[in-house]
Structure 1
Amino acid sequence: MKITTTFTSLALKLVGVIILVSALIDYLFLAIPLQLSNRNWQIDFTNTIVDRGVVPLLAVSLLVLGWWITDNTPNSAPPSKAVRLPVFIISSLLGLLFLLLVPIHLSNISNVSAQFIQEIDQRASAQEEEIQGFIEQLDAIARNPEQIQSEIEQRNQVINSGGNIQGRQLNPEELQAITSQRDQLQELLTLSQSPSDLETRLEETRTRLQTELRDLQRQEKQRAQTQALRQTLRTGINSFMLSVGYIVLGWLGIKNSMYGSPRKPSS
């Protein structure tokens, strides 16, 4: 079978139409149900359509190539504005959509990132209070040596029995945890005999826990800011480039369709 220019043009236009219609239907279903008040939904929707944004652009390019072959084929029918103009209008509208998505996406990412950082700060404040409560609890326990001694003896009984509690045998990890608790209680009992040493140790513990918490808080903020910057640059730049491509094709196509010179008849 000989592949003619007419067949090639038809194939390009057919594939272009199928891809374009399929992409537009895909965009329509991605937008359902609309949740315009939900910033996370807006971010996910923007990321998805920008990732798929090159598909309609490819479809428009195939249609333009098919029309170009038709226009340069002798004795072909004159171009129909009723077919070409809607495609270029759709391309222009898609270009406007992707252009508007750039500032909208930047704003959404900024707001969600700020909200996430605020949640990190709130969790850190709550954990700071938990640390303070833990230190106060240790201080209260340390002021009651009899209770500490009782706790130590209970754990010693479990350890000396080989990890047997009321007929249940502890696994090695559980036994190790009880041994560690016994050692900590023993250290606390020793410190309770010297109030100044106890105060110093509690202050060291508070400082260490607060430092670890602040380091973790700083790392979480850095990850959140890095992720926000990555999404901003990736989606924002891609959306802007897509808008340029669609607008150029759309407006040049509209201009050519509306004001282009009529085809000269073949000799």
Structure 2
Amino acid sequence: MKAGSQRQLASLTPLSLIVAGSIMVISVLLDYGVFLLWPQFLERQWQLQVVSNTVDRGVVPLVGIVFILVGFWAAEQVPTPLVQGITRLPLPMTAFIVASILSLVFLLFVPFHLRNSFVDRSENLKSIQTQAEQLTTQAAQTLETQVEQERARITALLKNEQQLNQAISSGQLSVDQATLLQQFRDNPASLDEYLTQQADTERKNAEETIATQKADAEKRAKEATVKTGIRTALNSLILAVGYAVVGWTGLRNSRNG
């Protein structure tokens, strides 16, 4: 490679790093600003969403800041007018300040997001419990209506001998059903016992189905808290440490320098 090409590449490298890093930082900060254009500070779901989105993109500004600092270090090694002019800009100090601010923000996100996640889980579990109780009540009411309809149908058949015989002869009733009806006619009390037994079986099946659905919903709510709440909080803590190392160390060294 010719000397001129080497000098051109040496001049372009720090400039490219600084430009790329600046774009990464500015673009994400603009995104953070967009999150706050239509704030709903009192809405917990909005708070959870904003923190999650902010943390998900939190590593991009950190990489951008590192690019800027590496670019300035590389610029100091290149004695060209353009690159030396770049080094006069206060970008490193600005990067250290931005990193320190973001470190504090991500650190505050940890308890804030954990609290919101567990409160949200608690509310979801209460909602699941309420829905299960409503479904149980609805199932009981529906079952009661069905029992009364079945009682009325059987009673009507028992009172109408011709209709009963016609239902048996036409195959609408099986042999077992016909035997039951004969039992009900001979012993009217057995009808109540039969309907009670059938209702208990249906009620038990409905309660088991509702309990299974409730358990599944509660499991999903708890898993969501771990995945979205604890994971986001841990990532936020890691980002806070990373920004602190870059920002606070840089500011301390600048003061000492």
Normalised to the residue count of structure 1, the TM-score between the two structures is 0.76
Which residue of 33, 36, 61 corresponds with 2:38?
33
- 2:151/2:195 contact within 8 Å kept: no
> Residue 143 and residue 126 in structure 1: after superposition, are their counterparts in 2 closer, same or farther (change >3 A)?
same
In structure 2, the residue matched to 1:43 is: 48
Aligned 8 A contact 1:110 1:228 in 2: yes
Q: Tell me the SS of whatever aligns to 1:32.
A: coil
Q: Deviations over 1:43-92 (max 9, x none)?
A: 11111111111110111000110111123445857965843212211111
Residues of 2 paired with 1:205 and 1:67: CA distance?
Answer: 76
Percent identity of the aligned residues?
A: 27
Counterparts in 2 of 1:94 and 1:191: CA distance versus 1, 3 Å: farther
Cα distance in structure 2, aligned partners of 1:99 and 1:251: 14
Q: Give 5+ residue unaligned stretches, structure 2.
A: 185-189
For structure 1, which segment, 237-246 or 68-77, has the greater mean C-alpha deviation from structure 2 after superposition? Answer: 68-77
Alpha-carbon distance in structure 2 between the residues aligned to 1:216 and 1:22: 44
Q: For residues 147 and 10 of structure 1, what CA distance do their matches in structure 2 show?
A: 94
1:63 corresponds to: 68
Structural mapping, 1:1-267, within 5 Å: 1-2=5-6, 3-73=8-78, 76=84, 80=88, 82-144=90-152, 145-146=154-155, 190=181, 193=184, 194=190, 195-260=192-257
Deviations 1:162-219 (A, max 9, x none): xxxxxxxxxxxxxxxxx9xx99xx79x8499222222112111111111111111111
Contact 1:16–1:59 (8 Å) recurs in 2: yes
| CA distance in 2: counterparts of 1:43 and 1:248, whole angstroms | 26
- Matched to 2:98, the amino acid is I
Deviates more, 1:203-212 or 1:77-86: 77-86
Letter paired with 2:118: S
Contact 2:32 2:54 in 1 (8 A): yes
Give 3-state SS (helix, strand or coil) of 1:36's partner: coil
For residue 88 of structure 1, what is the amino acid of its counterpart?
F
Partner of 2:187: none
User: What CA distance in whole angstroms lies between the structure 2 residues aligned with 1:12 and 1:62?
Assistant: 5
Q: Secondary structure of the residue that 1:208 maps to in structure 2?
A: helix
Aligned residues: 231
Does the 8 Å contact 1:192/1:198 carry over to 2? no
TM-score, length basis structure 2:
0.79
Q: Which has the higher helix share?
A: 2
CA contact (8 A) 1:94 1:246 kept: yes
Superposition deviation, residue 22 in structure 1: 1.5
Given that residues 84 and 257 in structure 1 are in contact (C-alpha distance below 8 angstroms), is that contact kept between their aligned partners in structure 2?
no
Inter-partner Cα distance in structure 1 for 2:237 and 2:93? 23
